[in-house]
Amino acid sequence: MTQTLFSPLVAGDLHLPNRIVMAPLTRSRAGAGNVPGPLAALYYAQRASAGLLISEATQVIASGQGYPSTPGIHSAEQIAGWQRVTAAVHAAGGRIVLQLWHVGRISHRSFQPGGALPVAPSAIRPAGQVFIGSGMADFETPRALETAELPAIVQAYVDGAANAIAAGFDGVEIHAANGYLLDQFLRDGSNRRDDAYGGSIENRTRLLREVIAAVTARIGAGRTGMRISPEQTFNDMHDSAPQALFNRVAEIASEAGLAYLHVLEGDIAGGPGAGVDYGAIRQRFHGAYLANHAYTGERAAQAIASGRVDAVAFGKAFIANPDLVTRLQLGAALNQADQATFYGGDAKGYTDYPLLAAL
């Protein structure tokens, strides 16, 4: 039977009533202590008709932060804040997973405990600037992590996953995309290590393999997904052989039995792309394949009907349309997102977008 956007999908232990996924969306609205507040509970509950909600990127450890007011999952207060979110989503009939995040070098000492330098696989300063609350600041040259420090990084992901389950999430998504720490280890443009975590593709994927193995051992592979971005140049990322690298990453995800692989197809930075064959990546992963990046409802429906993808994650469309599933079913017009309210602020541009019934 040909699948549609509105067909159910089983992804590991996750049972999705439709194939419309809400992508992880940084909104920078966490409160003191990087605790998600009451508005976050309303925001996610409003969008609970999605087949699956993927939370905004959430730092697994204090040193993993790189932007103002992003939530964490490493303190009792943060866990309690997220419990209010998951309770609201489940009361509305939804399913939600937490995206586990460490930004690595995409940070600044003003975010770091004790004013330390951000960490990375290698001491390579990314081009560009970071917003630190008071304005823009140049990225700094990060400190290269010592080999002996890497088990603690792995443990931070494990603790984050365990805390997410304690907070009521249905699973987690390992963030290995968009130029953050795990992606920095994967790509040879940011990883120049000469130990067992650098050099060959097998070495550069080692930390990711260890994180996947440890997280799935703790909470189960059926509750674990992963996000990758093979062509992404955002955050000054590049690799000399992205097809070979991400073919191997997909194999690793499949060997681990992950519930889904969430693939950002293309480059949100607007580059021409590296000509990656996503079909080859999909063939190597035997779980659910979630596609993301510039999909319209029509294009998503075609991709699912053809069997090329299993589900599609929407970003900006979900920011502006809490009832996106209903609008796509009815072919209704979509609200347009107000980019000025994407990051920080209050309810404006967050929980006040109108539903169809209110128009």
What's the residue count for the chain?
359
Its pTM stands at 0.98
**CA angle, 98 as apex, 261 and 255 as ends, to 5°?**
30
pLDDT digits (tens, 9 = 90+) for 212-234: 999 999 999 999 999 999 999 99
Q: Pairing state of beta strands 119-120 and 311-314?
A: unpaired
pLDDT digits (tens, 9 = 90+) for 253-264: 999 999 999 999
Buried b (16+ CB within 10 A) or exposed e, 152-164: ebbebbbbbbbbb
Identify the pLDDT of residue 143: 98
pLDDT digits (tens, 9 = 90+) for 87-101: 999 999 999 999 999
Number of alpha carbons in the 13 Å side-chain half-sphere of residue 339: 0
DSSP 294: S
Identify the pLDDT of residue 328: 97
Burial class (CB in 10 A: 0-12, 13-18, 19+), 230: buried
Following CA atoms 165, 168, 173, 174 in sequence, which dihedral angle do they give, to the nearest 10 degrees? -40
Q: Determine contact, residues 83/156, Cβ cutoff 8 Å.
A: no
Residues of the chain with pLDDT under 70: 1, 358-359
Identify the pLDDT of residue 1: 59
Give CA–CA dist 310/51, Å, rounded. 12
Identify the pLDDT of residue 133: 86
Question: Would you tell me how many other CB atoms lie within 10 Å of the CB of residue 300?
Answer: 24
Give CA–CA dist 225/233, Å, rounded. 22
Give CA–CA dist 68/131, Å, rounded. 8
Give CA–CA dist 279/232, Å, rounded. 17
Q: What residue ranges define each of the domains in the chain, with the CATH number in brackets? A: 9-311 (3.20.20.70)
125, containing H or E segment: none
Closest by CA position to 186, among listed 140, 252, 127: 252
Locate all alpha helices (DSSP H) within 138-234, ordered by sequence.
150-166, 181-186, 201-204, 206-219
Identify the pLDDT of residue 207: 99
Residues labelled as active-site residues: 180
Identify the pLDDT of residue 2: 77
Identify the pLDDT of residue 271: 78
